[in-house]
Amino acid sequence: MTRHRWLPAAAALVCSGAALATDVAVCTDEGRFVIELDDAKAPKHVENFLRYVDMGFYTGTVFHRVAPSFVVEGGGVDRKLLRKPPLPPVENESHNGLRNLRGTVAAARSEEDPDSANSQFFVNLVDNERLDATKEPGYTVFGRVTAGIEVVDRIGQLPTGASGPFKSQVPTPLVAIQSVTRIDTAALAAVPEEGRDAALKASVQTAAAAQDHAATLRAADLYHAACGAPDREIAVIEAKAALEADQRRRAVFVLEDYFATTKEDDANYAEALELYRNAIRDNEQSPTLLADDCLPPTAPTITDGSTASMEEMLAGQGHVKQFVAAGDAYIACLAKIIDSPERSPADRNAATAEHNRTVKSMEQVAAEFNAQIRVFKGRRQ
C-alpha cells in the first residue's frame, strides 16, 4: 500500500504547472492541528474548503461525529448542534488518486449523491479503503494532517452518544473549532514563541488603531494561525474590520461565536450587538424571518412642548403610549425567538440585537417626550 506524498516545496517549483500546497491551522478546544491541502489533485474541493476558511465559516462549529477507529467529522453544525447554512455543493473528485488513509482529510457527503459535499469534512483515523473510489465515486480526499494528529486522535477517543438531532456518535464533551486559517509560515516564524499571543494581539490592536482594516484582518489571521487563546476583544476588533472591509460573512460568523461564548456583561457586548445588526443588514445570508414573525413598532413624532396646545400634548402622550405598547409586544415576540432552540444562531442573535435596539428606542422616546412635558409645563407657570 503506497501512501500518497505531496511534492516538497522545491520539487513543486520546478514542476510545470504545479503550485505550492496550502497549509491551514485548525484550532480546537483540544489543541491545534495542521492540514496540508492538495491544490493540484483536488482543486475544486480545495477551492471550496478555502472559501469556507476565508469567510470564517468554521469558527464555532464542532466535531459532531466521532466514530472510533474510523473518522472524526465536523464543520457543519454549531455549538448547539444546529446546522449552519452551507454554500452550494462541489463536484466529486474522488478519482484523483488520493486514498482515504490515516490522517487524510476528506469531504463528507450524502451516500446517495456523490456531488453533495459542502462544508463538512472528516479526518480518517485509520486506513479506510472502503471510502475510496472504485468504478463508483468515493469520498474525495483533499488534504492530510501534517502536524497534530494526536489532537485528532484525542477527539476520536471521546465517549459518544445521542445529542440534539443526532441519534449517536456525538462526543462528550463537544469539541469546538475556534478557527481555521491559512498559515503564513514566514510571518508566523518571525514572531518569537515566547510571548507570542501578546505580541500578535498587540499587532491586531495597532492595525485597528490605525484604521488599516486589511492589516487588522491579516494580524487577526496570524493570531488565529498560531492558535492564540480565545480573546473577546480581538473577536470584536476582527468583526469591525471585516465589516469595514465589506467581508460581512466573516463579521457575522465571528460575532455569532462571540455571542455563543460570551455573557451580556462583557465590556464589548453592546458594540458587538451593533456590529452584528450592521453585518446582517443587506447580507445575502441574513435572517429574514424576524419581519414575518414580529412586527416592529414605528417611533412617533415627539410633540414640541414649546408650541403645542394641551390637546396636542395629550394626543402626543397617546401616541407614545401606543408606541410603548407595540414595543412591549415586539419584545415579547422577539423573546420567543431568542429562547427557541429550534431557531438558527443568526435568527437568535438578530432577535437579541433587535430586542436591545427596541428597548433603547423606547427609553429614548420616553425621555424625549418627558423633556417636552417639562417644556410645556414651564410655559404654563
- Res 10: pLDDT: 29
More confident residue, 81 or 379: 81
- Residue 252: pLDDT over 50: yes
Check residue 20 and give its pLDDT: 53
Cβ 106 vs Cβ 138: under 8 Å = no
Q: Mean pLDDT score of the chain, rounded to an integer?
A: 87
| CA 101 to each of CA 94, 104, 358: distance values in angstroms, whole numbers, following the listed order | 13, 6, 54
pTM score of the predicted model:
0.72
Within 13 Å of residue 316, how many CA atoms lie on the same side as its CB? 21
Helices 196-209 and 232-244, axial angle in degrees (round to 10): 40
Q: Give the three cell numbers for residue 341.
A: 432552540
Q: Which residues contact 91 (CB under 8 A, 6 or more apart)?
A: 44, 115
Contact 27, 224 (CB under 8 A): yes
Q: What is the mean pLDDT of residues 157-182?
A: 96
CA R_g for the chain: 26
pLDDT of 346:
65
- The CA distance from 342 to 349, in Å, is 13
In whole angstroms, give the CA distance from residue 355 to residue 338. Answer: 9
For cell 478546544, the residue is 29
Closest CA to 123 of 66, 83, 52: 66
Asked if the model's pLDDT at residue 81 lies above 50, the reply is yes
Q: How many CB atoms lie within 10 A of CB 214?
A: 11
What is d(CA 52, CA 56) in angstroms, rounded to the nearest whole number? 6
Report residue 311's pLDDT band, with 50, 70 and 90 as the boundaries: confident
Residue 228 clears pLDDT 70, i.e. is over it: yes
Dist. CA 198–CA 277, nearest whole Å: 30
- pLDDT value at 82 more than 70: yes
pLDDT (tens digit per residue) in 31-48: 999 999 999 999 999 999
Alpha carbon of 328 to those of 7, 53, 273, 363: distances in Å? 63, 40, 20, 12
Spatial neighbors of 134 by CB under 8 A, at least 6 apart, are none
**What's the whole-number mean pLDDT along residues 258-281?**
87
The C-alpha angle with vertex 47 and arms to 281 and 219, in degrees rounded to 5, equals: 60
How is residue 184 written as a grid cell?
503564513
> Which of the listed ranges 52-61, 250-259, 293-302, 358-367 does the model predict with the highest average pLDDT?
52-61
Specify the 3-state DSSP secondary structure of 66.
strand
Cα atoms in the 13 Å half-sphere on the side-chain side of 314: 3
Most confident of 118-127, 292-301, 337-346: 118-127
Task: For residues 24-33, give the mean pLDDT.
Answer: 98
Distance, in Å, from the CA atom of 181 to the CA atom of 221, rounded to the nearest integer, reads 6
Instruction: List the grid coordinates of 376.
Output: 410645556
In this structure, of 6-20, 96-110, 261-275, the range with the lowest mean pLDDT score is 6-20
**Which DSSP helix (H) or strand (E) runs through 177?**
strand 177-182
Residues 199-221 have pLDDT tens digits of 999 999 999 999 999 999 999 99
In the prediction, which pLDDT does 354 show? 78
Q: What is the pLDDT of residue 135?
A: 95
pLDDT at 214: 96
